[in-house]
Structure 1
Amino acid sequence: MEGFVSEMLGTMILIILGDGVVANVVLKKTKAENSGWMVISTGWALAVTIPVFIFGNISGAHFNPAVTIGMAFIGSFPWSNVGIYIAAQLIGAFLGAIIVWIYYRPHFNATEDKEAKLAVFCTQPAIRDIYSNFICEFIGTFILVFAILGVGNTKMINGLSPIVVGGIIWAIGLTLGGTTGYAINPVRDLGPRIAHYILPIKDKGSSDWKYALIPVAAPICGGIVGALLYKLIF
């Protein structure tokens, strides 16, 4: 139960801050409107770092099924807890997205661009090419999981590890994020996408379910391969 609550709350905070920074940049009449990709990438990095600090010693701070499943594949996490963790992560992501909508509701109402509204909740590719989009999400998540496992081999002073994890997210966003929006986390995309579909957002448009499988399947595959390669090498 402790792990479920930690993963749910941690993922919820991650989405509140992560989707929140996107809303701050892309929605109309915010004070950060059009502040750019650097702000979004930095915000997402901090959005991961903060809940890792809070819940790392309780649940391991996965907040991502790609991490949970990848670790289970190499025997670093019990398969019996995988379903519990993923359920908690999905619920947390869904709730976090609802909170972002409540917080930015006047700005959603002031924004006419339907794609901008959707971008607050979930990822969209810059160029829609399903095979390339899958490869991008696969590689990004491969690096995420391989790097998270790999940095564990370096001795760090107490409290430094969450900052390093945030740095990995920041690096991926700055270097690889511009093609697909770097979901690199199935629930980060799916939970808010469900919220977008359900919420009474003014003139919201499509939730783009035709693309939704890519940011779910590709990160899981990339996470598994990243974890297996780590295990093979180390």
Structure 2
Amino acid sequence: MYSLSVRLAAEFIGTAFMVILGNGSVANVDLKGTKGNSGGWMIIAIGYGCGVMIPALLFGSISGNHINPAFTLGLAFSGLFPWSEVLPYILVQMIGAIVGQSVVVAMYKPHYDITEDPEHILGTFCTIDATTSKLNGFISEYVGTFILVFSALGITKAPFFKDNLGTAHLALGFLVMTLVASLGGPTGPALNPARDLGPRILHSLLPLKHKGSSQWDYGWVPVVAPIVAGICAIAVYKGIFL
């Protein structure tokens, strides 16, 4: 059992790595003049899949590799995680997401400067519903997060993996990659309040050229929908299988 401070460090680093690798892949595809410009959605799917898989392999046995407030809150509501640690976990997840996004901006700064489409810039920070529909966004984020959290808990608790949790955490990367490839079209997707809210806050603060609106009128959707989905997913899994 690791101390809380060590587990918080793991959550901070894990969330930062997820955002760096995930949003870094979005920046590589969407920002002007990059080597991967217009490289396609599968680059983003692979980037986010590995962005979750690598922290899972690093920290799954240390902090549980939540790196997602929806997962932390879902576990707590079902009595599988102590409420006393929820706020510290979420706080470091948020800080990790902001720090991770700061690294993406630092690395891609010349490309941000020459990219004139504000939605391409915003999309490297946070999510946008492709049809500007909050309802569609909520449904998409809810369904995607439900599958993510339900499957992540199932994979890590499954008897099939009980003697090899390393393989289980490897599978989480393929889970996220598939979710982005299959269900990512409508919103991005976020599936994680910290991954969206932290970078959106940074977007609103940075003086980037051509950055446009941070779209705060939509910003609540990728926060509320994943949290509700996470709570429901873990409650359903626990009610049936635990």
Compute the TM-score of the two structures, normalised by the length of structure 2: 0.94
Per-residue CA distance 1:141-163 (angstroms, 9 max, x = gap): 11111111112214233521221
The CA RMSD measured in Å over matched residues stands at 1.0
1:75 is displaced (CA, Å) by 1.4
1:212 is displaced (CA, Å) by 0.2
Give the AA of the match of 1:137: E
Look up the match of 2:207: 200
Give the AA of the match of 1:10: G
Q: Superposed, which structure 2 residues align to 1:104-143 within 5 Å?
A: 104-143=108-147
Per-residue CA distance 1:97-127 (angstroms, 9 max, x = gap): 1110000001101111111000000000111
Aligned equivalent of 1:155, options 132, 150, 160: 160
Q: Superposed, which structure 2 residues align to 1:72-87 within 5 Å?
A: 72-87=76-91
Percent identity, aligned pairs only, is 48
SS of the aligned residue for 1:98 comes to helix
Match status 1:188 vs 2:195: yes
Aligned equivalent of 2:185, options 167, 172, 178: 178
Look up the match of 2:38: 34
Give the AA of the match of 2:11: E
Q: Structure 1: how far apart are the matches of 2:96 and 2:116?
A: 28
SS of the aligned residue for 1:57 comes to coil
Further displaced range: 200-209 or 213-222: 200-209
Match status 1:46 vs 2:50: yes
Per-residue CA distance 1:35-90 (angstroms, 9 max, x = gap): 11111111100011111111111111000001001111111111110000000000
Per-residue CA distance 1:182-212 (angstroms, 9 max, x = gap): 2000000000001111112122111110100
Structure 2, gaps ≥5 residues long: none
Match status 1:70 vs 2:77: no
CA contact 2:115–2:210 (8 Å) conserved in 1: no
Q: Superposed, which structure 2 residues align to 1:2-41 within 5 Å?
A: 2-41=6-45
Give the AA of the match of 1:173: V
Q: Structure 1: how far apart are the matches of 2:10 and 2:79?
A: 21
Q: Structure 2: how far apart are the matches of 1:23 and 1:7?
A: 23
Question: When the two structures are aligned, how many residues end up with a matched partner?
Answer: 234
Q: Structure 2: how far apart are the matches of 1:98 and 1:195?
A: 8
Give the AA of the match of 1:24: N
Q: Superposed, which structure 2 residues align to 1:93-108 within 5 Å?
A: 93-108=97-112
Structure 1, gaps ≥5 residues long: none
1:181 is displaced (CA, Å) by 1.0
Give the AA of the match of 2:217: K
Q: Structure 2: how far apart are the matches of 1:96 and 1:161?
A: 25
Give the AA of the match of 1:207: S
